[in-house]
Structure 1
Amino acid sequence: MRLTVAQALVRFLANQYSERDGVEQRLVPGCFGIFGHGNVAGIAQALLETDALRYHLARNEQGMVHAAVGYAKTRNRLQAMACTASIGPGSTNMVTGAALATINRIPVLLLPSDFFATRVASPVLQELEDPRGFDVSVNDAFRPVSRFFDRITRPEQLPSALLGAMRVLTDPAETGAVTISLPQDVQAEAFDWPDELFDRRVWHVARPVPEPAALARAVEVLRGARRPLLVAGGGVVYSEAGQALLRFAEATGIPVADTHAGKGALAWDHPNSVGGVGATGTPVANALARDADVILGVGTRYSDFTTASRSAFQNPDVRFVNLNVTAFDAAKQSATMLVADARAGLDALTDELHNPATRAAESSDSRVGWSGDMGRWNAVVDRAYHLGHGPLPAQTEVIGALNEVLAPSDVIVQAAGSMPGDLQMLWRASDPKAYHVEYGYSCMGYEIAGALGVKMADPDREVFAVVGDGSYLMMAQEIVTAVSEGIKLNIVIVQNHGFASIGALSESVGSQRFGTAYRFRDPDTGRLDGERLPIDLAANAASLGAEVIRVGTIAEFRDALATSRASTRTTAIHIETDPLAPVPDSDSWWDVPVAQVSALDSTQQARKSYEQHKTTQRTYLNP
């Protein structure tokens, strides 16, 4: 069959399927894109010829990768959207999105355009000229942030590249950004392809089971535990292991803490649930973590927030058992490794530990007072939800109103600023898909674009993107995409006139919130500490096509949420909050270095506190 490289690529993608547990679905159901020189005559032309791969016009290349991540995460990594961009800045705009996808272990397929493979017109517009070699392109920046990268300089290379790309997209242990760099002349080049390239292919997503000897070692450690704690990560959600986790928790009695990616895997009000763990976790989970003698990590990569920069687990004899589909993550913290699918692994562990004579946590010291601690913590959360702060409301009150007004199946999307920390600590999740916080890369600007992908992946859910003014100004363009596609989003714009999160962090390290507020430059001081800037984000959202509701109080905010939820149109709610309002303490720490020498007393005091906390960090080298 004679087709161009781009036509062959599109036809191939339209015939790829994933399968897990007997359920098949399109692996690549659609393509986001922005066309320019480099792909307008290649991928654009190929998409024009067929409706087999639906095209979605994005407004920002980074944003469309974020939307693809939101889509794939919602689909439990069983589907991945493609993203195509023009040569040069269009393509390199996707690098940040690629990093986000790979860090979070989420599959996306990136198709950046590239230089002329023949070099007949070099240097073309926007081509990097590297004197070290003519085969270097700006697209080489994708290599370190992609799980798979290939450049197609001849048509014959396409089949092997496509098969390699599909393997990585469907491998839960290896997935992330997959990049196939496409020189613009090669995209338009015709070739006689074997018909077999376009046959229907099904990529089976495995559920690796635990190796018996590894299972026995893990069970031995767990049976010897007196104060165990389970940390549920994103792998529990992606493997659809919620019921397996519930069965394990109820069979063993082990308390369950969660990470951002794992929140909702066990409902917040289950007796075994103790909330988030780590730098922004709950005091109850962190107290259990400090004393735990065995940590069972399921589907977590142990980020610095989860381990409170390696200060969370203070028992001198603490041991780790890590159940993870990825050996790289299973080996962390000198753990007893159990390399397996989260659901298969939890089922196997439950079967081994189900005998009452060997239940790991029934006599656990950690269980004493645990229920009472959670009751006291829930009272703290209730107070934070209804703080009555004024004259501007507190951010915790915004979270409380959202948590109480939204239906259990509604999705909250967030990524950056102070909101993720407050959400992990305070949010009460009953559904594993209702809490969508990107905190692997914590990329400002993810919220609205990510919410677009979530809604596309699960149209029956109401999706709420909660975005601070700093993140909104980074990227709000996909409001236009949502409006043009008729995809309804609920957007909450939290206005605090700057970077509230970094302001608080700046203050904690003695830097006095320097450079973290949106202000005019004061002619007297020469610094950006004058009057507030007259920025109207509500007007901006309206200009992009959203319905807008301005509110000033929490009562008005609650009414606006109900109005927005009932609407059929993308709606933005604008509310101003006080960035200095109080937030409950997690009783934990995050390692952010403080200047070792300074003339400022605030920095000197912060350094003393920092050095005290540094003494709590552990290497976790226990065998």
Structure 2
Amino acid sequence: MLMTVAEAIIKYMQEEEGIEVIFGYPGGAVIGFYDALYNSSLKHVLVRHEQGAAHAADGYARSTGKVGVCVATSGPGATNLTTGIATAYMDSVPIVAITGQVKTSAIGKDSFQEVDTRGITMPITKHNYLITDPHEALRIVKEAFYIAKTGRKGPVLIDIPSDIFLSKIEYSVPSKVELLGYKPNYEPHPLQIKRAAQLIKESEKPIILAGGGVIASEASQELIKFAERINAPVVTTLMGKGAIPETHELSCGFIGMHGAAYANYAINDSDLIIAIGVRFSDRSTGKVETFAPNAKIIHIDIDPAEIGKNVQPYVPIVADAKRALEKLIEVVEPKTNPIWWEKIKDWKNKYPLRYRMSNEVIKPQYVIERIYELTKGEAIVVTEVGQNQMWAAQYYKVKRPRQFITSGGLGTMGFGFPAAIGAQIGNKDKVVIDIAGDGSIQMNIQELATAASEKLPVKIFILNNSCLGMVRQWQELFYERRYSCTLLDVAPDFEKLAEAYGAYGRRVEKIEELDEAIEWALNINDSPVIVDIKVNREENVFPMIPAGGSIDKMLID
């Protein structure tokens, strides 16, 4: 069956990979692909900026566990994708990005809208391709999806010249993928499992540190079963939120720069850390030389490059988190750890997450608490980056994996709203909320047109403090309140802006207006909603570990 490469790629994505939706923005180098889409049943979501396409594909992937797909043209279209690709790379999210390229005869001649997309994205993709032979197209596309969703998941980019899209080929898909040198190891070594079980038996103060790898491997139930068997507290990284229900009696919140004080004290005082699907980033460990000085570490990760990169483990286990936990459950002996639990409960009592309530101003922490209570903890929560992100992480207790979506490793402002669009498309019957700041939301505010066009009822709650809150906080604490370029005294009327895009908008300036506005937003199901909430400008996120500080040396308030 002869067809164009563009038609063959679309057919393959639908029939072989089960792709239901792609996010993109057309241009000259991808016009052949978009022409093939014209008669296709594959849903395409037209974003208003290519960065929005990458973030939407990312949010779709994180919230569903499926591969997200985004498309952009050559040159600026491709470069606009790079921030979103880097975001997915840092957080190990499976997306496939398809970019157009100038025709093969024009490559390397500084042609109109030509950039070396493959070279630019090499450091921020798990793998990438430039297709120069149309007969290799389906093999490459099959490999791209395989690489994105296996092993340590991540983004893969396929750069396709415009003439390759239009070339005619036979539709013939390789029966399997064969990649020399790429053989992810899923099964843990039996000896390492035995060594880990012995360490757990000997420990008096064990703690489990669960990261995004637990969610990526669908290992939440195994994690809970394992934690209950050894009666160990479970802390998470920011990316691991949802790996265990935060209402579970063994859950102790997330650690790190703005983690709960009791979580940070617990991991730093432990004698054994069972780290699963984490990379021991600086935001989690603080000063690595002083991190958990008395703890032996069992590090389970599917990526061997992460073992020993930041923290040296006592027992390394290169394996899929789900398979490793299944094997550990089989061999570990039950434990109780009563003295350890007494100490943790004491820390929880002494150092709870807290803030000073006021009736004069709206406290952002209170806003998150009310959103949590009025949604009964069931919403999919997507965040922007900054103070809004940390307050959401602290005060919205998530119940399940893929419920809390945030840019962790790259810390990308502007991520939240387009990611929420992707999450809403992937979860049509669920409430999707974007917790935003007034700075971050403006970075991709144009995607209101996308959400309105698709009639997506994403709820955007802006914690509006008229400043770039997290940088301002640092300036207050460490730079004598020298607020250099962080005060946003000129800003749009977000209520009117929402209406201009055909969405709904509302402003909240008094605390007694808050609940009604939240409930109003939750009841709208045919359009995006902005609730602009005026909060205290000089409210800070605590606890806080100063840059380069030790995890147990926090500013509490």
Query: Could you tell me the TM-score, scaled by structure 2's length?
Result: 0.92
Determine if the alignment matches structure 1 residue 484 to structure 2 residue 453. Answer: yes
Q: Aligned residue for 1:181?
A: 159
> In the aligned structure 1, how far is the partner of 2:172 from the partner of 2:5?
15
Match of 2:25 among 24, 29, 34: 34
**Identity of matched residues, %:** 25
Give a deviation string over 1:6-48, Cα, whole Å, max 9, x none.
Answer: 122212222223xxxxxxxx2x3222121111111x1101111
Match of 1:285 among 263, 274, 279: 263
Q: Aligned residue for 1:302?
A: 280
Match of 1:545 among 502, 511, 516: 502
Determine if the alignment matches structure 1 residue 247 to structure 2 residue 225. Answer: yes
Please give the residue correspondences for 1:11-50 in structure 2 after superposition, counting only pairs within 5 Å.
11-17=11-17, 26=18, 28-40=19-31, 42-50=32-40
Q: 2:173 is matched by which residue type in structure 1? A: L
Q: CA deviation at 1:178?
A: 0.8
Q: Aligned residue for 1:324?
A: 301
Q: 1:250 is matched by which residue type in structure 2? A: E
Determine if the alignment matches structure 1 residue 452 to structure 2 residue 421. Answer: yes
Q: CA deviation at 1:393?
A: 1.4
Q: 2:498 is matched by which residue type in structure 1? A: A
Please give the residue correspondences for 1:139-150 in structure 2 after superposition, counting only pairs within 5 Å.
139-150=118-129
Give a deviation string over 1:291-321, Cα, whole Å, max 9, x none.
Answer: 1121111111222111124266343x32210
Query: Would you say the 8 A contact 1:394–1:582 is kept in 2?
Result: no
Q: CA deviation at 1:364?
A: 6.1
Q: CA deviation at 1:407?
A: 2.4
Give a deviation string over 1:328-369, Cα, whole Å, max 9, x none.
Answer: 234441111122222222222122113x4xx3xx34643223
Q: Aligned residue for 2:180?
A: none
Q: Aligned residue for 1:566?
A: 523
Query: Would you say the 8 A contact 2:380–2:430 is kept in 1?
Result: yes
Aligned residue pairs total 547
> In the aligned structure 1, how far is the partner of 2:380 from the partner of 2:99?
31
Q: Aligned residue for 1:160?
A: 139
Q: CA deviation at 1:416?
A: 0.5
Q: 2:376 is matched by which residue type in structure 1? A: A
Determine if the alignment matches structure 1 residue 85 to structure 2 residue 53. Answer: no
Give a deviation string over 1:106-129, Cα, whole Å, max 9, x none.
Answer: 01111111122112995532235x
Please give the residue correspondences for 1:220-369 in structure 2 after superposition, counting only pairs within 5 Å.
220-310=198-288, 313-315=291-293, 317-332=294-309, 333-335=311-313, 336-354=315-333, 356=334, 359=335, 362-363=336-337, 365-369=339-343
Residue aligned with 1:477, SS: helix
> In the aligned structure 1, how far is the partner of 2:254 from the partner of 2:122?
34
Residue aligned with 1:111, SS: strand
Query: Would you say the 8 A contact 1:311–1:589 is kept in 2?
Result: no
Q: CA deviation at 1:172?
A: 3.3
> In the aligned structure 1, how far is the partner of 2:110 from the partner of 2:292?
58
> In the aligned structure 2, how far is the partner of 1:425 from the partner of 1:518?
25
Q: CA deviation at 1:479?
A: 1.7
Q: CA deviation at 1:184?
A: 1.4
> In the aligned structure 1, how far is the partner of 2:439 from the partner of 2:106?
42
Structure 1, unaligned stretches of length 5 or more?
18-25, 129-136, 520-531, 592-609, 617-623
The change in CA–CA distance for 1:121 and 1:347 in structure 2 (over 3 A counts) is closer
> In the aligned structure 1, how far is the partner of 2:204 from the partner of 2:530?
50
Q: Aligned residue for 2:9?
A: 9
Q: Aligned residue for 1:213?
A: 191
Match of 1:474 among 432, 440, 443: 443
> In the aligned structure 2, how far is the partner of 1:367 from the partner of 1:121?
64
> In the aligned structure 2, how far is the partner of 1:560 from the partner of 1:254?
41
The change in CA–CA distance for 1:198 and 1:218 in structure 2 (over 3 A counts) is closer
> In the aligned structure 2, how far is the partner of 1:123 from the partner of 1:369?
65
Query: Would you say the 8 A contact 1:292–1:313 is kept in 2?
Result: no
Q: 1:493 is matched by which residue type in structure 2? A: I
Q: CA deviation at 1:238?
A: 2.4
Please give the residue correspondences for 1:484-503 in structure 2 after superposition, counting only pairs within 5 Å.
484-503=453-472
Q: CA deviation at 1:213?
A: 1.1
Q: Aligned residue for 1:95?
A: 82
Q: 2:14 is matched by which residue type in structure 1? A: A
Q: 1:299 is matched by which residue type in structure 2? A: G
> In the aligned structure 2, how far is the partner of 1:166 from the partner of 1:410?
29
Q: CA deviation at 1:285?
A: 0.9
Q: CA deviation at 1:470?
A: 0.8
Q: 1:285 is matched by which residue type in structure 2? A: A
Query: Would you say the 8 A contact 1:29–1:81 is kept in 2?
Result: no
Q: CA deviation at 1:249?
A: 1.6
Determine if the alignment matches structure 1 residue 580 to structure 2 residue 545. Answer: no
Query: Would you say the 8 A contact 2:383–2:389 is kept in 1?
Result: yes
Query: Would you say the 8 A contact 1:91–1:139 is kept in 2?
Result: no
The change in CA–CA distance for 1:127 and 1:207 in structure 2 (over 3 A counts) is closer
Q: Aligned residue for 1:197?
A: 173
Query: Would you say the 8 A contact 1:207–1:344 is kept in 2?
Result: no
Give a deviation string over 1:531-574, Cα, whole Å, max 9, x none.
Answer: x3253222222212210111112331221111111111321101
Q: Aligned residue for 1:393?
A: 362
Match of 1:109 among 86, 96, 106: 96
Query: Would you say the 8 A contact 1:289–1:312 is kept in 2?
Result: no
The change in CA–CA distance for 1:508 and 1:159 in structure 2 (over 3 A counts) is same
Give a deviation string over 1:569-620, Cα, whole Å, max 9, x none.
Answer: 321101111131254435x4433xxxxxxxxxxxxxxxxxx7xx6999xxxx
Q: 2:34 is matched by which residue type in structure 1? A: A
After superposition, the CA RMSD in angstroms is 2.7
Q: CA deviation at 1:420?
A: 2.3
> In the aligned structure 1, how far is the partner of 2:60 from the partner of 2:482?
36
> In the aligned structure 2, how far is the partner of 1:100 from the partner of 1:326?
18
Q: 2:24 is matched by which residue type in structure 1? A: G
> In the aligned structure 2, how far is the partner of 1:197 from the partner of 1:13?
11
The change in CA–CA distance for 1:85 and 1:443 in structure 2 (over 3 A counts) is same
Query: Would you say the 8 A contact 1:469–1:498 is kept in 2?
Result: yes
Give a deviation string over 1:400-419, Cα, whole Å, max 9, x none.
Answer: 22222122221111131112
> In the aligned structure 2, how far is the partner of 1:340 from the partner of 1:440?
22
Match of 2:492 among 535, 541, 548: 535
Q: Aligned residue for 2:47?
A: 58
Q: 1:246 is matched by which residue type in structure 2? A: I
Moved over 4 A (4+): 120-123, 198-201, 375-378, 613-616
Residue aligned with 2:445, SS: coil
Match of 2:395 among 393, 418, 426: 426
Once the two structures are overlaid, the 10-residue window that deviates more, 221-230 or 144-153, is 221-230
Query: Would you say the 8 A contact 1:409–1:433 is kept in 2?
Result: no
Query: Would you say the 8 A contact 1:415–1:439 is kept in 2?
Result: no
Once the two structures are overlaid, the 10-residue window that deviates more, 87-96 or 477-486, is 477-486
Query: Would you say the 8 A contact 1:325–1:341 is kept in 2?
Result: yes
Query: Would you say the 8 A contact 1:227–1:294 is kept in 2?
Result: yes
> In the aligned structure 1, how far is the partner of 2:366 from the partner of 2:546?
24
Query: Could you tell me the TM-score, scaled by structure 1's length?
Result: 0.82
Q: Which is higher, the Rg of structure 1 or of structure 2?
A: 1
Query: Would you say the 8 A contact 1:116–1:122 is kept in 2?
Result: no
The change in CA–CA distance for 1:614 and 1:371 in structure 2 (over 3 A counts) is closer
Residue aligned with 1:476, SS: helix
